[in-house]
Structure 1
Amino acid sequence: MAQVLFLGGLGRSGTTLVERLLGELPGMCALGEVVHLWQRDIRDDERCGCGDRFSACPFWTKIGDRAFGGWSNVDVDRVHHLRESVERTRHIPRLAAATTATAEVREYASFYSRVYAAAAEISGSDVVIDSSKHSALAHVLRWADDIDLKVVHVVRDARGVAYSWTKKVTRPESDGADEMTRYSPGRSALLWNAHNAAFGLLARRGVPVRRIRYEEFLADPRAGLIRLADFAGVPLRPEDLDFLRPERADLQDPAGLPGTLQDPTKLPETTVSGGGHSADLKVGHSAAGNPMRFTVGRLPLRHDDAWVRALPSSQRRLVGAVCGPMLRAYGYPINVASEAP
């Protein structure tokens, strides 16, 4: 049975970063957003996180051979049909209320379970990570008998999410030809409510769900990773977190990059001031997702609160009003104007 850690939440909530950090831990294999594998990778042959085209990536080639006897044997049209039939946000109430799964739900879930099982075997990992985010997919996967599903529900302040959705971001997979989807603040606020509420329904259906606030995770990524690894059932040793390094924002490296220490391992974390952490990332094989999946090497881990200053006050109030009840439930302040620097 495949052990799957599913990272869920509305896009731009930080799931890609959480996935990249979890993927550095022994016994865990990060697969990216598997929900997009069928179109973007099998059919469109976009780039894997390692930089190779999907068809040229040895890791994914082995998974396809093990799971389906080759990716050419996957009926992508059938996958798309099943997704439209069962894995849409509008289907969540029906999926959550169901006491038995339909044949289409089980068939659709089987495509994922075969990928997960093959990835675990090829990578030699105890747990595979799917950062697909889609709440409807998580509701489908709970019906798969051969998946041991655990869900990490990643929440970020709705106003930060709304601001991120307004930014223009080029999709590296398209070689600069396409941009990532953008939403208006009002649209993203409605989606934020719907997707986050759906994960609450999932928890009430008996699926293990661990909610994390992205801002708190970034404030102490070491502690956050320890808690998530424990939730996933993966034991850690202290040295497994050596890829995380404390930073000092008031120090500069010879190249002028802020936050780099000459020897950060000699500075106790309790004395770090004015900065956060950085992570040394290895090459990954995320199938799809945020452009961060291509990052290799040192990645500063700093809370992005640009929205406090850059999101117009009218839009900030709109998002705060639409998402107010859930913002309160998750512990976020409703009035942020007075907190702006």
Structure 2
Amino acid sequence: MSDRPSPTRVVFLGGLGRSGTTLLERLLGELPGCAALGEVVHLWTRGVLADEACGCGEPFHSCPFWGKVGERAFGGWSAERAERVLALRARVDRTRRIPALTRLLAEERAGAGAWRSPAVTEELGEYVTAYRRLYEAAAEVADSPVVVDSSKHASLAFCLAAAGVDVHVVHVVRDPRAVAHSWRRRVTRPENGTAMTNWSPARTSLHWLAQNLGLELLAREGVPVTRVRYEDLLAAPARTLRRLAAVLGVQPSLDFLGDGEVSLSVAHTASGNPMRFTVGRIGLSRDDGWRAGAASRQWSLVTALTWPLMIRYDYPWRLS
């Protein structure tokens, strides 16, 4: 393991799924110097082990981009390595581990550095090293100094930060009532024809709270975190992207944005929402179908469970 910090800058999109992270990732991936990688946390299962399709449409092991990344990072992809990373994930990368990871992060920031700190366990170090090598290899293959990982999980963001990865978290939030409505819809994954996970409004609310509170805690520990609301992104995409480009230190070249639409190129995203396969011009419009599609009692339940953070994120209690 190298004791130097990673020269690659990692933009980590955090938040709960169905909050617009895939859209934001695709938009950031169009900026010069940014390479969108998809949900890297699922790459080991869905890419390396299951050989599901890359965003380019090719099976993972047939994709030239990921073939080069695997060769540079690990001397080639292997099931053994993927299974080892997944085993480590089960031990160190869990929401319930965030309090312990917070202590590690605090010691890392106050002490001599992540790779020299005895507080960083061997398992955490091994786990994050796999990600760091993957990020560095992807940046080299894409010839981009910035890679975008839309893994979302606050616990993984904590792992990366505690182990010294140069990470900037973009905290994506959306009205929890819209998120809860989306999690109740049946969506088919085009990679294998299976249905994506469905959650009840109550369960979605608890996960929404856990992920957003985790990212709030990460910001309190001094990790760079920039919040973006889904609603603001759709209302003013150019303004939102210019703000992010300035914060992330990349060129705000927005030629791909038009009036209410965007032109997307092929992206080598390893996993994520079905939108990762979209290429060409698409309209940018806010999905507000949840306002008519959800029962008022469901809105009331979600509001009752999430209201402290709803207020913080400027979401109104009452719907007009």
Distance in 1, Cα, partners of 2:182 & 2:22: 14
Q: How high is the TM-score relative to the length of structure 2?
A: 0.92
Matching residue's letter, 1:169: V
Q: Out of 176, 179, 194, which is 1:158 matched to?
A: 176
Contact 2:10 2:135 in 1 (8 A): yes
Contact 2:31 2:251 in 1 (8 A): no
Q: Out of 132, 139, 143, which is 2:151 matched to?
A: 132
Matching residue's letter, 1:166: R
**1:178-214 deviation line (CA, Å, top 9, x unaligned):** 1100100000001000100000110111110001111
Distance in 1, Cα, partners of 2:237 & 2:195: 30
**What's the CA shift for 1:97?**
2.6
1:166-245 maps to which residues of 2 (within 5 A)?
A: 166-174=184-192, 176=193, 178-236=194-252, 240-245=253-258
Calculate the aligned-residue CA RMSD, in Å. 1.0
1:115-130 maps to which residues of 2 (within 5 A)?
A: 115-130=134-149
Distance in 2, Cα, partners of 1:185 & 1:12: 13
Partner of 2:49: 43
Question: Is it true that 1:66 corresponds to 2:49 in the alignment?
Answer: no
- The structure, 1 or 2, with the larger RCO (C-alpha pairs under 8 Å, 6+ apart) is 2
Question: Is it true that 1:54 corresponds to 2:70 in the alignment?
Answer: no
Q: How high is the TM-score relative to the length of structure 1?
A: 0.87
Larger radius of gyration: 1
Partner of 1:328: 311
**What's the CA shift for 1:74?**
5.2
Per the alignment, in what secondary structure is the counterpart of residue 12 of structure 2?
Answer: strand
Matching residue's letter, 2:224: P
Question: Is it true that 1:114 corresponds to 2:130 in the alignment?
Answer: no
Q: Which runs of 4+ in 1 moved over 4 A?
A: none
Contact 1:113 1:144 in 2 (8 A): no
1:259-298 maps to which residues of 2 (within 5 A)?
A: 277-298=260-281
Matching residue's letter, 2:258: R
Contact 2:48 2:79 in 1 (8 A): no
Distance in 2, Cα, partners of 1:101 & 1:154: 28
Matching residue's letter, 1:220: A
Distance in 2, Cα, partners of 1:167 & 1:194: 21
Contact 1:168 1:179 in 2 (8 A): yes
**1:260-312 deviation line (CA, Å, top 9, x unaligned):** xxxxxxxxxxxxxxxxx110111111100000000001111101111111111
Unaligned regions of 5+ residues in structure 1, if any? 247-276
Distance in 2, Cα, partners of 1:101 & 1:306: 46
Distance in 2, Cα, partners of 1:57 & 1:135: 29
Distance in 2, Cα, partners of 1:73 & 1:90: 27
The count of corresponding residues between Structure 1 and Structure 2 is 301
**What's the CA shift for 1:73?**
7.2
Partner of 1:263: none
Sequence identity percentage: 55
Partner of 2:3: none
* Larger deviation, residues 18-27 vs 90-99: 90-99
**What's the CA shift for 1:104?**
1.1
Question: Is it true that 1:86 corresponds to 2:92 in the alignment?
Answer: yes
